[in-house]
Amino acid sequence: MKAIEINTKTDKFGNLRVDYPLNKKDSTVRIIILLEEEGEESEEEKRWLYSIQNNPAFDFLNEPEEDIYSQTDGEPINDKE
Per residue in 48-69, pLDDT tens? Answer: 888 988 999 989 988 999 888 8
- The pLDDT value given to residue 46: 86
Three-state DSSP class for 44? helix
Three-state DSSP class for 9? strand
Q: Which residues contact 28 (CB under 8 A, 6 or more apart)?
A: 7, 8, 9, 10
Burial of 79 (0-12, 13-18, 19+ CB in 10 A): exposed
| Residue at 76 is within a domain | no
Predicted confidence (pLDDT) per residue in 12-62, tens digit: 888 877 756 677 788 887 777 666 666 667 788 888 888 988 999 989 988
| Residue at 12 is within a domain | yes
Task: Count up the domains in the chain and report the number.
Answer: 1
| Residue at 50 is within a domain | yes
Q: What range does the domain containing 15 cover?
A: 1-64
| Residue at 17 is within a domain | yes
